[in-house]
């Protein structure tokens, strides 16, 4: 039975770096944000979004993600409606992906909102990635070419590190690639022992 390892962390914490390290070790990784972007381009999901949010967020039949983001960013009701469309579609897609990877002893399910969305319930174990706040802010400013204020706004809308870590089985402190690699080896050794004994 394939074990699902949830991987989460606040914006700029370095989840992608950790995910890539697992990938380099031959462990399949499901990146929910990337998959959700693809799923949001499917006809079934686009039709639901159009019904819920109207035609103004479309140009020549193409969804303008920035316009949709503006609508849902500070409106919890609208965000909940969007999540109610996208999350079930992602959940179904992940089930299909899991079948394709059923021969692997474990897979990584990466999601920034693993706890907020309730997706942690499908995971056997959860890893939270932490990084110092200032480092996270700097990373996101450079990556997204955005402002400090906008990054802080996004951080404010996510669970705090302490909340995520208290509900996680493992915490990786992302201070360097070397530190990440050491923690991953420890986690994998623990999980392998668990599998041998189960």
| Annotated binding residues | 12-17
Order of strands across the sheet that contains 3-9: 29-31, 106-110, 3-9, 125-130, 170-173
> Residues annotated as binding site for ATP?
12-17
Which residue intervals of 64-109 are DSSP H helices?
Answer: 65-72, 76-100
Instruction: Report the alpha-carbon distance of residue 120 to residue 185 in Å, rounded.
Output: 22
Dihedral angle computed from the Cα positions of residues 104, 109, 110 and 115, in that order, rounded to the nearest 10 degrees: -160
């Amino acid at each position: 039975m394939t074990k699902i390892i949830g991987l989460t962390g606040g914006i700029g914490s370095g989840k992608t770096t950790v995910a890539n390290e697992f990938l380099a070790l031959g462990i399949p990784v499901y990146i929910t944000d990337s998959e959700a972007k693809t799923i949001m381009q499917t006809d079934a999901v686009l039709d639901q979004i159009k019904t819920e949010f109207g035609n103004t967020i479309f140009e020549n039949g193409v969804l303008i993600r920035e316009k949709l983001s503006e609508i849902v960013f500070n409106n919890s009701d609208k965000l909940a409606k969007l999540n109610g469309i996208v999350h079930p579609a992602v959940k179904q897609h992940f089930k299909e992906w899991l079948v394709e990877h059923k021969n692997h002893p474990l897979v990584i399910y990466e999601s920034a909102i693993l706890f907020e969305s309730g997706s942690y319930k499908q995971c056997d174990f959860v890893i939270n990635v932490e990084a110092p706040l200032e480092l996270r802010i700097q990373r996101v400013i450079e990556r997204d070419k955005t402002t400090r204020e906008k990054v802080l706004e996004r951080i404010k809308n996510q669970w705090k590190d302490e909340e995520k870590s208290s509900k996680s089985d493992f915490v990786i402190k992302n201070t360097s690639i070397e530190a990440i690699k050491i923690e991953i080896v420890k986690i994998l050794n623990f999980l392998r022992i668990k599998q041998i004994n189960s």
